[in-house]
Amino acid sequence: MNAAQPRFNSKFHPVNFARPVLFSFILCFVFSSPNVFAATLPEYRANIKDAKILIEDFANLDAANFSNSEYLKIERETLARTRAALPASERVEWQSGTIETNNQWLAEKLDRYQREPRVSAKRAAILEEIVERLDALERKVGELENSPAASHSKDEDKRKLEEILQREEYQKPEQASENLLEKIYNRVVKWLAEIFPRANISPSSATNFSSLSFILQLVLYALILGAIGFLVYRFAPFFAGQFRFKERAEKKERVVLGERLTADETARSLFGEAERLAGEGDLRGAIRKGYIAFLCELSERKIIGLSQHKTNRDYLRDVSGKSELYENMSGLTGNYERHWYGSDDARETDWTEFKEEYQKAIGV
């Protein structure tokens, strides 16, 4: 009699276990790795638009219509959805290649907004700045999206998109470094703290000897401070001269709206350069150069201060307290934005209108 052959239950076959495990692994990989697949340029522009609309709608909310808990809930959801729509970094794929975007500035602005008190007026200004930057970025990406594919090489398209994403208004400002005097002061203070620890004398343990020791310690401190004061007195003119030299070196060059200007360039010379560009047919470049000349004119009159990290809207806000100048400058700024950031072609009439607005504004 043959022994019964063992039967293998197909329900417990290893393949039946492997299939759901493999399927689950694939799902986890796809849904937990949003940056595995690059977004297309239209999708990236749509994300920018979504983020802009979210911030615009939230900025226009009237907090008086909501309870405190309701308003905070809307705020949290809006900021979370904005961060999700436009992360700090993502890959964008286009017909000419793939590029890594850098929108770290948006995360930093949202963090700064959350740190401000709810009653602070700076909150509205931060939201306004975010909307303006997103709007400018959306328009420039839209220009790339609508540009003919055959008229640009792969390198040209990547360079243009990188140029937009790496403009100074989308970058984090550089942290100011310590000057020479600050470094020396911090090192001396640290050195004194290490050599002479702070005295800790309790009344219960004080004796004549410890009192004398404490007095000697004070005398020693006085001698050291006197020696430092003498050294500062003797060498301060030298260090001050070095500091003034550094300041003069920094003033030799200025960066206005991403354009580097030398120390000898004035508003008059810059506007002359704008006239030359217009004569050569580069009306778009002439309007940009003329707008920079206008900002330099205001700086020379001590009305505004030039800064590498300021945008054209920042300069416009600087003159908001001067109503007539603000009105004239608004026209100049709109003209500049339409032809430099926008897709409008500059014509001779646009340059003539710009010059008239320029003369009117500087005559205020």
Tell whether the model's pLDDT for residue 340 goes beyond 50. Answer: yes
Tell whether the model's pLDDT for residue 300 goes beyond 50. Answer: yes
Tell me how far apart the alpha carbons of residues 279 and 273 are, in angstroms, rounded to a whole number: 10
Can you give the pLDDT at residue 53?
93
Tell whether the model's pLDDT for residue 55 goes beyond 70. Answer: yes
Alpha helices in 104-179 (DSSP H): 104-115, 122-146, 154-165
Top mean pLDDT of 6-20, 131-145, 193-207 is at 131-145
Tell whether the model's pLDDT for residue 176 goes beyond 80. Answer: no
Phi and psi torsions of 174, nearest 5°: -70, 140
pLDDT band of 211, cuts 50, 70, 90: low
- Residues 165 and 305: beta-carbon distance below 8 Å: no
Which one is predicted more confidently, 9 or 157?
Answer: 157
Which one is predicted more confidently, 252 or 277?
Answer: 277
Nearest by Cα to 99 from 143, 154, 52 = 154
Rounded to an integer, the average pLDDT of 324-336 is: 87
Residue ranges per structural domain of the chain: 31-170, 253-362
Rounded to an integer, the average pLDDT of 165-178 is: 53
Tell which CATH architecture fits domain 253-362: Up-down Bundle (1.20)
Can you give the pLDDT at residue 212?
64
Rounded to an integer, the average pLDDT of 18-22 is: 47
Tell me how far apart the alpha carbons of residues 291 and 333 are, in angstroms, rounded to a whole number: 8
Rounded to an integer, the average pLDDT of 32-36 is: 44
DSSP secondary structure, 63-122, as one string: GGGS-HHHHHHHHHHHHHHHHHHS-S--EEEETTEEEE---HHHHHHHHHHHHS-TT-TH
Can you give the pLDDT at residue 168?
55
Which one is predicted more confidently, 197 or 129?
Answer: 129
Of 27-31, 115-119, 138-142, minimum mean pLDDT range: 27-31
Do the strands 253-256 and 259-262 form a parallel or antiparallel pair, or are they unpaired?
A: antiparallel
Which one is predicted more confidently, 231 or 162?
Answer: 231
Tell whether the model's pLDDT for residue 265 goes beyond 80. Answer: yes
118-145 pLDDT, tens digit per residue, is: 888 888 899 999 999 998 888 888 887 7
Rounded to an integer, the average pLDDT of 107-115 is: 91
The residues, any chain, with a CB within 8 Å of residue 135's CB and separated by 6 or more, are 52
**The dihedral sign for the CA sequence 74, 78, 84, 88:** negative
Can you give the pLDDT at residue 154?
55
Can you give the pLDDT at residue 108?
92
- Residues 59 and 122: beta-carbon distance below 8 Å: no
Can you give the pLDDT at residue 203?
43
In sequence order, the β-bridge partners of residue 259 are 256
The 3-class secondary structure across 236-301, one letter per residue, is HHHHHHHHHHHHHHHHCEEEECCEEEECCCCHHHHHHHHHHHHHCCCHHHHHHHHHHHHHHHHHHC
Of 87-101, 102-116, 197-211, minimum mean pLDDT range: 197-211
Do the strands 259-262 and 97-100 form a parallel or antiparallel pair, or are they unpaired?
A: unpaired
Can you give the pLDDT at residue 77?
92
Nearest by Cα to 127 from 137, 140, 112 = 112
- Residues 46 and 134: beta-carbon distance below 8 Å: no
Can you give the pLDDT at residue 157?
57
Tell whether the model's pLDDT for residue 183 goes beyond 80. Answer: no
Tell whether the model's pLDDT for residue 243 goes beyond 80. Answer: no
- Residues 124 and 59: beta-carbon distance below 8 Å: yes
Top mean pLDDT of 33-42, 137-146, 267-276 is at 267-276
Q: How many residues does the chain have?
A: 364
Report long-range pairs for 4-12 (Cβ below 8 Å, ≥24 apart). Answer: none
Can you give the pLDDT at residue 162?
64
